[in-house]
Amino acid sequence: MPVAGQSPLSPAASTDFDAIVIGSGIGGLVTATQLAAKGASVLVLESYLIPGGSAGYFERQGYRFDVGASMIFGFGQQGTTNLLTRALEAVNVSLETIPDPVQIHYHLPDGLELKVHKDYEKFLQELTDLFPHEQNGIRQFYDECWRVFNCLNVMDLLSLEEPRYLMRVFFQHPLACLGLVKYLPQNAGDIARRYISDPALLKFIDMECYCWSVVPADRTPMINAGMVFSDRHYGGINYPKGGVGQIAQKLVEGLEKCGGQIQYKARVTKILQTNGRATGVELASGKRYTAKRIISNATRWDTFEKLIPAAQMPTSERKWQRRYQQSSSFLSLHLGVKAEALPAGTECHHILLEDWERMEEGEGTIFVSIPTLLDPTLAPPGYHIIHTFTPSWFHDWQHLSPTAYKDRKEAAADRLIQRLERIFPHLSTHLDYQEIGTPRTHRRFLGRDNGTYGPIPRRKLAGLLGMPFNRTAVSGLYCVGDSTFPGQGLNAVAFSGFACAHRVAADLGF
């Protein structure tokens, strides 16, 4: 990786590229590496010191913390939905991963305790034991998720905007394509209610969706649910050895192997246009680069209200903003704890909620990752990392004095630790290191408007049909990441990256 802040471009190097990618989140890096592997000249511009965005990392006192979630899909070895594996292989790099036998250990209201095992039948049996009267409905719902997944898992997942690809896939897999078309306008909640009537079980399925889509089942597209609810039993959850940040590091290594370039501390402030066409970018330093195609890995709010003046926002983007809104940001509490803080048999990932009515509220649902249970090298010997995050809104952290901001952060950390003691008794007596980030932290370091996690529907929509693809109304400008089809999650933004690169490559004639 280049030294932070130094450009790999020599003063005499050409500033005219086939493609410029704004941001080095996983969606942007997959787009860049796929294009570079096809022979395109690619420049990635990253405002921070390291790549990855919310899939990055930071180090403190012997701990290596993941910035975001550490429950990673996409590292399987079979089928076509293992998009992270495929992205790395495309640029001749690899990454050792560690399998996790349990996706999540749920700690939910009314004493509902449940583990989602990698073994599908074991998971269904544990859920059926809790809801024996819904035995048939449970199997019917999750089996239908498998039908969606099996359709996806036989075809290359590339751009749905590329007619030749669509024709080829349809002739190769007509039944799978027809199956997916059927599910495109449907949401997971619609399917669940066909088979299940128990309100508590439907609440559980809401949480199954919320923990990765940050909306309940009736606003979660069935295509996405089918992917997640099945791939966790197929490819499984696999943690990258060395931390989640290794994914971006390896993709950058592969990018450079293929002749692509990345520049750090390069904050793009403007997308340049000539006669209504995106032709380049301008940095905060005043430096300009030009390219045949511009790809924004920023959120659509940042892309069309900041990098392009809001007054020039295309009508299609205004319509999209009427359908979708920003999800909350997060409070992220990173703890270093003594090993004895964790009871025997503790799993890596947990969801904690005490009141169903608070599932979508700020500081309602708590997400917990303990990656050192899979990779002990991320912490000093005898210690573990506990990464806790919970929804939080940017407006709750505005207009505070430095002292008030610090006090509010400390109070929030204390509340989270107190709640975590339901899972880890006496946790507060085993703390070694503590750091809390707020929505302001997310905005500052990740460059995301209001620190948002991504877009969510304002109301119930027809499945995935409202999500935009990679091309935009501005000629020469594409978007990639969680603001584009198929939405949020590491494997989903990798899908977006594959699709975007395929569309751009076709437009460039590669």
pLDDT digits (tens, 9 = 90+) for 450-485: 888 888 888 776 655 567 889 999 999 999 998 888
Instruction: Tell me what pLDDT residue 387 has.
Output: 96
Structure tokens at 74: 């996409």
Q: Looking at residue 181, what is its pLDDT? A: 77
pLDDT tens for 63-94 read 999 998 888 998 988 877 899 999 999 999 99
Instruction: Name the 3-class secondary structure at 229.
Output: helix
Task: Give CA–CA dist 81/234, Å, rounded.
Answer: 10
Report the pLDDT value the prediction gives residue 4, as an integer from 0 to 100.
37
Residue 362 reports pLDDT greater than 60: yes
Q: In the Cβ-directed half-sphere of 351, how many Cα atoms lie within 13 Å?
A: 28
Q: Where are the chain's structural domains? A: 16-60+68-95+240-324+460-508, 328-449
Detail the DSSP E strand segments found in 167-305: 237-240, 261-263, 268-274, 277-283, 288-296
On whether the CB atoms of residues 350 and 373 are closer than 8 A, the answer is no
Q: How far apart are CA 159 and CA 166, in angstroms?
A: 8
What pLDDT score was predicted for residue 12?
35
What percent of the chain clears pLDDT 90, i.e. is strictly above it? 71
Amino acid symbol at 160: L
CATH fold label, 16-60+68-95+240-324+460-508 = FAD/NAD(P)-binding domain (3.50.50)
The predicted-structure confidence for 38-52, as pLDDT tens digits, reads as follows: 999 999 999 999 999
Per-residue pLDDT, averaged over 248-258, amounts to 96
- Mean of pLDDT values over 423-441: 95
Confidence of residue 324 (pLDDT cuts 50, 70, 90): confident
What pTM was estimated for this model as a whole? Answer: 0.89
The SS3 call for residue 251 is helix
The per-residue pLDDT for 198 is: 97
The rounded distance, in Å, linking the Cα atoms of 171 and 303 is: 37
Other Cβ atoms closer than 10 A to 8: 15
What is the predicted pLDDT for the residue at 444? 87
pLDDT at 14 over 80: no
DSSP class of residue 365 equals: S
pLDDT at 173 over 80: no
pLDDT by residue (tens digit) across 326-355? 888 999 999 999 999 999 999 999 999 999
Q: Taken in order 183, 186, 189, 194, is the CA torsion positive or negative?
A: negative
Q: Please state, in angstroms and rounded to a whole number, the distance separating the CA atoms of residues 15 and 119.
A: 51
| Residue 324, beta-bridge partner list | 457
The answer to whether 316 and 479 have CB atoms below 8 angstroms apart is no
What average pLDDT score do residues 100-127 get?
Answer: 96
In order, the DSSP letters of 141-198 are HHHHHHHHHHHHTTS----TT-HHHHHHHHHH-HHHHHHHHHHTT-BHHHHHHHH---
Determine the average pLDDT of the residues in 112-116: 96
Give the confidence band of 9 by pLDDT, cuts at 50, 70, 90: very low
